[in-house]
Structure 1
Amino acid sequence: MLLNYSQTGQGPNVVLIHGLFGSLDNLNIIAKALSEHFTVTNVDLRNHGHSFHDDAMDYPTMANDILALMDHLGITDTHLVGHSMGGKVAMQVAMLAEQRVNRLVVLDISPVAYHARHEAIIHGLNAVSKSPQLNSRSEADKLMAQDIDEPGVRQFLLKSLTKNSESRFTWRFNLAVIAANYNKITSNINETHSCLCDTLFIKGNNSDYILPEHKSAILRCFPKAKAKVINGAGHWLHAEKPQAVNRSIIDFLQ
Structure 2
Amino acid sequence: MSLYDLLVIFHLLLFVYWLGGDLGVFYSSGMVIDPKLSNSARATAAKIMIDLDFVPRICMTLMLTVGGLLVWLGDFGIEHPLWQKVGFIALGPAWLAMVVYLHVAHGTPLSKVVTKVDFWFRWALVIYLIIATSVSFYIGRLDPAPWVGGKLLIFAGLVFCGLMIRVYIPGYIGGIMALRKNVAQPSLSDDVNQSMAKSLGQCRPFVLAIWLGLFIECWLGVAKPGQTVPVSEVLGSVATVVGF
Kindly indicate whether structure 1 or structure 2 has the higher relative contact order, using CA contacts under 8 Å at least 6 residues apart.
2
Structure 1 length normalisation: TM-score?
0.30
Greater percentage in helix: 2
Greater percentage in strand: 1
* Structure with the greater alpha carbon radius of gyration: 2
